[in-house]
Amino acid sequence: MSGLLQVLVDADNVPAGRLRDVLAVISEVGVERRIVVAGHPDALARVEWPDDADLLIAEGWQRADLALATAYTPEPGPLVLASGDSDFLTLAGRHPGPVLVVSEAAAGPYREVATVLDPVHDGAASLRSWLRAVVADIDS
């Protein structure tokens, strides 16, 4: 598999503590990545984002979702979606590479098209394991 690790974060929809855990694990993995974060300025301010993250201020109902959908590129690399609502279900189902959904309460149908993890309940080791597996695929 080729491509980069694409990370789309709905800062309005996933609590800051879960996002910090995900970002810490992603930072451990030495692979080309693209991180796009969208949300209300208050939500964006709750997390210290990596320097290479694209922060998109998106205020109002569904604005963060729209910003992330616009930023998404259907490349064959892995996709990490930090958002649990069902707005991205079609995107996840059509993505040409492996998909990880990070959420405390992901919509049930995500489990049919992606791996679903909650860093608080599943632990950083589960995130690390998924990332290492897909990074190995990228490197091969």
Complete DSSP assignment for 24-41? HHHHHS-S-EEEEEEE-H
DSSP H or E segment with residue 136: helix 124-139
Output the pLDDT for position 140: 43
Q: What is the pLDDT of residues 75-121, one digit of tens each?
A: 889 999 998 677 788 888 899 999 988 887 666 777 777 888 888 88
Instruction: Considering only residues 71 and 134, tell me which one the structure prediction assigns the higher pLDDT.
Output: 71
Output the pLDDT for position 34: 94
Indicate whether 26 pLDDT > 70. yes
Instruction: Considering only residues 43 and 108, tell me which one the structure prediction assigns the higher pLDDT.
Output: 43
pTM reported for the whole predicted model: 0.90
Task: Determine the Cα–Cα distance for residues 41 and 105; give it in Å rounded to an integer.
Answer: 23
